[in-house]
Structure 1
Amino acid sequence: MPYITRRKVRFQHCDPAAIVFYPRYFEMINSVIEDYFAEVVEVDFRAMHVERHVGVPTVSIETHFHAPSHLGDELEFSLEPTAVGTTSLTLSIRACCGDEARLSCQSTLVFVDMDSGRPIPWPDAMRQRLVSELA
């Protein structure tokens, strides 16, 4: 079952034509991932970065923009993990406004030790939550 969350397109997301400037979509995608970790994986980014000195940087992202989003639109984002590796996580992310697809994305994150910058295996509890969410 996908994780669902909503984002309103704000002035800060838009270019002078009042449509989302594409780099802002990547900020929205990251905020959806951050919420997913806090709400589903039950480890928020503060705990990871500040307390545990670990993180989940994006190592690959492929995004398709299907239609523009406009100032004031309410976007529904869905996120589903599609693969969990020893140190990696692949996610399928989609954004829609009503029935209209706005973007689709496949992103791969890697769990890293922030002190060394090297990938490390997922802790058992995190891995179990991720695996239980596989599409």
Structure 2
Amino acid sequence: MVLSLNCLILGQTSNKCFTEDIGQTYRDDSKVEVEFSNFKVSHFKEKLLREQIIKDVIQDKNKMDLWKVNSQKVDEEENNLQKFTESDIKDKLGGEEMNPRYLFSKYFKVDQMDIQGIHIFVVPTST
């Protein structure tokens, strides 16, 4: 395993967070093997759609945005998370929207992880 990330869907409390593990390789829906060095945010979105907790809310990887957040700020806002908006993610959690075409390693460094914090907010979109 290269990374273990805690994710939360916008509008839920932190006790609903779930973990996504990323290995050295990833097999996409087309059965193509992708090395971690080439793993993009779009691959992670595809991976998320395999989780029932995501499928219950989102049916298409193009109908979600991912935000990398500052896990310490998430802890500070623990009691307010359920009422957060996308603007709150940016303004109060130091959120950075993750671009699907960028490498995942642009956002997360293996040796700089808070293993217990929330790392990613999943935001359902209508487009």
Question: Which bin holds the TM-score, normalised by the shorter protein?
Answer: 0.3 to 0.5
Q: Which has the higher contact order (CA 8 A, sep 6+)?
A: 2
TM-score by length of 1: 0.32
Task: Please identify which structure carries the higher helix content.
Answer: 2
Task: Please identify which structure carries the higher strand content.
Answer: 1
